[in-house]
């Protein structure tokens, strides 16, 4: 075997080993990513914070909703196609009354211009939480409430659905669509360990079903697996 042939074969062997190494690294990164996704953070989600319901689920998220951290820092401003920005808190009277540990209010917008608000209230006190229906009713809105299933990549969770309508002049009206639920860090559901209200709100876009699907697609960016 000539020297050039040996050099050629050695070069091929080195290239083959390098290709195998790259493949193994790539597979390792994929496996690690899947493992991190499987681990995530687990919470208990339900539609009522006073009592357990049959809609209680254990849900997994890649994001930390623990009150041990700042929720503003835990959750991204850009998620999927959504681009968010923090919105100044204007209802200071409500904050004084509710005394939450943390309050997050963001506006998330899609490339097509449609948007929704994400509101998070985190607290260790029961007095910090009440149904959004109370606020809408007090402000002159008529409301219709029911529960809504939100399919995830695996399993589903439930939210309370609120459709609020307020008449305007000349026979016109404005309508808001709201989905919300509560998150606890474990099955004890001890509020002193930290409870978070997760709420999305938007105008009505097209049909109610179309608007609800927009909300659900947004929520699926934060939660990926649930089980009873």
Q: Which band of pLDDT confidence, cut at 50, 70 and 90, is reported for residue 168?
A: confident
Instruction: Judge if 160 and 195 occupy the same domain.
Output: yes
Whether residue 182 contacts residue 48, with contact meaning beta carbons closer than 8 Å, is answered with yes
Q: Which domain holds residue 153?
A: 41-227
State what percent of residues in the chain have pLDDT above 90.
Answer: 60
Instruction: Determine the Cα–Cα distance for residues 74 and 63; give it in Å rounded to an integer.
Output: 6
Question: What integer pLDDT is reported at residue 224 of this predicted model?
Answer: 97
Instruction: Judge if 35 and 128 occupy the same domain.
Output: no
Question: What integer pLDDT is reported at residue 93 of this predicted model?
Answer: 64
This prediction has a pTM of 0.79
Instruction: Judge if 114 and 9 occupy the same domain.
Output: no
Bridge-based pairing of strands 82-86 and 102-109 is antiparallel
Residue 29: pLDDT over 50? no
Structurally, the chain folds into a number of domains equal to: 2
Instruction: Judge if 97 and 159 occupy the same domain.
Output: yes
More confident residue, 26 or 210: 210
Question: What integer pLDDT is reported at residue 92 of this predicted model?
Answer: 62
């Amino acid at each position: 075997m000539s020297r050039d042939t040996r050099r050629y074969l050695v070069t091929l062997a080195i290239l083959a080993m390098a290709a195998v190494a790259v493949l193994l690294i790539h597979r390792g990164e994929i496996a690690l990513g899947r493992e991190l996704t499987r681990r995530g953070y687990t919470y208990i989600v339900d539609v009522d914070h006073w009592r357990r319901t049959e809609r209680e689920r254990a849900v997994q998220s890649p994001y930390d909703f623990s009150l041990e951290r700042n929720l503003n820092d835990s959750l991204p401003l850009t998620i999927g196609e959504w681009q968010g920005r923090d919105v100044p808190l204007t209802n200071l009277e409500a904050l004084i009354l509710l005394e939450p540990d943390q309050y997050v209010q963001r506006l998330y917008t899609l490339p097509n211009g449609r948007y929704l608000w994400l509101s998070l209230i985190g607290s260790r006190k029961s007095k910090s939480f009440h149904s959004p229906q109370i606020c809408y009713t007090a402000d002159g809105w008529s409301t219709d409430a029911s529960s809504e299933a939100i399919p995830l990549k695996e399993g589903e969770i439930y939210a309370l659905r609120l459709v609020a309508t307020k008449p305007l002049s000349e026979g016109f009206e404005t309508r808001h669509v709201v989905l919300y639920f509560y998150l606890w860090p474990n099955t004890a559901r001890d509020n002193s360990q930290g409870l978070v209200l997760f709420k999305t709100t938007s105008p009505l876009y097209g049909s109610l079903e179309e608007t609800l699907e927009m909300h659900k697609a947004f929520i699926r960016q934060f939660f990926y697996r649930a089980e009873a």
